[in-house]
Amino acid sequence: MNRAFSEKTEKKRFPYLLSFRLSYRVMEYLSPKTDAELDRARRRSFKFIVVRHPFSRLVSAYRDRLVRHQDSFQAKKYNMLIRNETTFSATAATPTPPTFAQFVRFLLATPPADDDPHWMPYWLHCSPCSVDYDAVVKIETSERDMKELYKMAPVLR
């Protein structure tokens, strides 16, 4: 049985996925080798970013990476470091995670470029000031924003 679909059929059946046949062209397009190719890709691409309110993001990162999942890479790396940096009485035997206040004090005392990506400011790793994004999707209003994004994005139509 032949399971090959035409591009038109694939777009109807799988509107959010690129066909395998087109993926090679897309990968070439997404991997520019010269400044001119990069500039062309920026002009021709539909660029969007998904963001979250910074305070919600910090609370979520703290809870998820440092408190709930004590075996996470971030908990193992940062919990004792944060406690040692923010208190004088922390010992290596202290099993509890730092408080949220200690976490915030640690972040304020640490250069943002040294932050973990889970709480690093967006401007450091997503370049919102140097990329001319076509849309910004906010997690807090994502349902509404995604509907608008779908209308705006040519590849999703």
Check residue 59 and give its pLDDT: 94
Record the pTM.
Answer: 0.62
**Residues spanned by the domain of 74:** 54-120
**Residue 69 belongs to some domain of the structure:** yes
**Residue 112 belongs to some domain of the structure:** yes
Assess whether pLDDT exceeds 60 at residue 13.
Answer: no
**Residue 155 belongs to some domain of the structure:** no
User: Quick one: what percent of the chain has pLDDT higher than 90?
Assistant: 13
Q: In total, how many domains does the chain have?
A: 1
**Residue 114 belongs to some domain of the structure:** yes
Identity at 50, one-letter amino acid code = V
Convert the pLDDT of each residue in 73-98 to its tens digit. 888 888 878 877 666 454 555 567 88
